[in-house]
Amino acid sequence: MRVVSCTHFGPLDDLIIEEQPSRPLGAGEVRIEVRAAGVNFVDGLFVQGLYQVKPPTPFVPGGEIAGVVTEVAADVADITVGQRVFASTGLGGFATEVVWPARLVVPTPDALSDGQAATFVQSYMTAWFALHHRARAQAGQSLLVLGAGGGVGLAAVDVGRAMGLRVLAAASSEAKREVARQHGAEATIDTTSDDLKTAAKEWAKAAGNGGVDLVYDPVGGDLAESALRSLDDDGQYLVIGFAAGSIPKLPANQILLRNRRVTGVDWGGWVGRHQAENRQMLADVVAAIAAGDLHPVEPVAYRFDDVATALRDQVERRVVGKSVLVP
């Protein structure tokens, strides 16, 4: 099989594509022919050694795959050869095949293409966990989403709309703002020219509020303080990540004086301690997709050999929506 190998932390162009022997199946495992491997911002951080967790090298990056089962272990009864499936692998997804425990493989519903199945889990599970479980958002509340044209932000727009939230999408290009509108954003902000705090407060004021109820921030950096200041009294700021590359220092007085709340959202960390709850949450998200309530974007496809370009486009935030490697 072919894999993308990270032999050392460094520039994206240092990745190599090599042949490795297929691993024999163990008990309870299935072999999956990868049809699409999700490419995420965090994958670029892993490869460059910029993520807070550093896997031992060499390793194969890639945490989301979708494809077709080509072999099952003798003790596997609920997954069959020829079945379309998807899985979250953590690492090891940038390969032409993956051997994975059958209990962690999910049948792909007809409503999803292989590309969608390989790209929705991280972003949609993060958004669902953030808005349903951490924020306990209620229909009618207003939600400002930063980075709304990227995969994580776009999922928040879609989940928020499905929950009955009024969504204001902030993004850096018209293409990103347009895809956010297509997924349910009521209005948009141009983060390259608009003053985020002023624009968000003016939008909220039109509905009789002093600010937005919720901020969903996967970006961090320079926009964070303005986003915090855009909140109404008792508003909630959801810390999702730091795609801008810097961790913001939020003014504590702005939290104190307006009774605002700052809430951390680490879906990946939560999963390790709540496996059963996470399986139910994934089932809920898949059911919402199958019912037509959620609409994961069809990703931009890159050739397997163009992995460095695919990761660079993620790191430099040029991608609208999601992207996949196609072996």
Model confidence pLDDT, tens digit, residues 141-176: 999 999 999 889 999 999 999 999 999 999 999 999
How many other C-beta atoms can be found within 10 angstroms of the C-beta atom of residue 220? 21
What is the share, in percent, of the chain residues with pLDDT greater than 90? 91
For residue 154, which of 40, 285, 297 has the smallest C-alpha distance?
297
**DSSP assignment string, 139-186:** TT-EEEETTTTBHHHHHHHHHHHHTT-EEEEEESSHHHHHHHHHTT-S
Can you give the length of the chain in residues? Answer: 327
- Is residue 293 classed as helix, strand or coil in its secondary structure? coil
Model confidence pLDDT, tens digit, residues 193-227: 999 999 999 999 999 999 999 999 999 999 999 99
Q: Quote the DSSP letter at residue 110.
A: T
Tokens read off for 183? 């997924």
**Rounded Cα gap, residues 311 and 322, in angstroms:** 11
**Rounded Cα gap, residues 177 and 166, in angstroms:** 15
**Structural domains of the chain in order of their starting residue, each with its CATH number:** 2-119+297-326 (3.90.180.10), 122-268 (3.40.50.720)
For residue 135, which of 278, 262, 270 has the smallest C-alpha distance?
262
**Rounded Cα gap, residues 241 and 218, in angstroms:** 4
Tokens read off for 64? 């989301």
Per-residue model confidence (pLDDT) at position 53:
83
Model confidence pLDDT, tens digit, residues 80-104: 999 999 999 989 999 999 999 999 9
Predicted confidence (pLDDT) at residue 51 exceeds the cutoff of 90: no
> What's the longest Cα–Cα distance across the chain?
63
**Rounded Cα gap, residues 173 and 189, in angstroms:** 10
For residue 176, which of 198, 196, 153 has the smallest C-alpha distance?
153
Model confidence pLDDT, tens digit, residues 265-289: 999 889 989 989 999 999 999 999 9
